[in-house]
Amino acid sequence: MSSITVIGNIGSAELKFTQSGKAALNLSLAENHRRKNQQTDEWEDAGTSWYRATLWEEQAELAADQLQKGTRVIVTGTPVTRTYTTQQGEERESREILVNAIGPAIPKRKPQAQQGGGFGGGQAQQPAADPWGQQNNAADPWGGQPSTGGGWDTPNTGQPAF
């Protein structure tokens, strides 16, 4: 079976339970398309594709606590096309992804303060101290100042390592 990967923002997240007690998290996911205008050399909106995504059982319950409207995620799963009949009797199709994996979509550049929650959403937060260990925390083996050795805590003898 084929697989699909979509990066987008959550439009809604609703946790439900089947009659047998299985958890199902239904998401609507908006994938925004951008294109570069050749005349102005500016990026512009080029439409939005909407997907339904479904997570089941333990994965659904774990994700329900993290995923909220506006959260930017990357979703990988099995694409399914479902047909349904509207209340007016019209036949329609919807695209759905049966989710295998879901996680935060980390941007290429530092995001602006966001509203919402979940994977990095939430209320605007103050920047944390340097996450790469510049704090000299003795309990953190990766923290502190770099060694004066030749890297990887090897002595700096002035000789090549190899």
69/159 Cα distance (integer angstroms):
56
Beta carbons within 8 Å of 60's beta carbon, 6+ residues apart: 15, 23, 24, 25
- Quote the pLDDT of residue 113: 56
Give first-to-last CA distance, the chain, whole Å.
48
Q: What is the pLDDT of residue 158?
A: 53
Low-confidence ranges of the chain (pLDDT < 50): 114, 116-156, 161-162
Total structural domains within the chain: 1
The whole-number pLDDT of residue 76 equals 94
Q: Which domain holds residue 63?
A: 4-104
**Residue 45 belongs to a domain with what CATH number?**
2.40.50.140
Residue 161 lies in a domain: no
Is residue 45, in this structure, part of any structural domain at all? yes
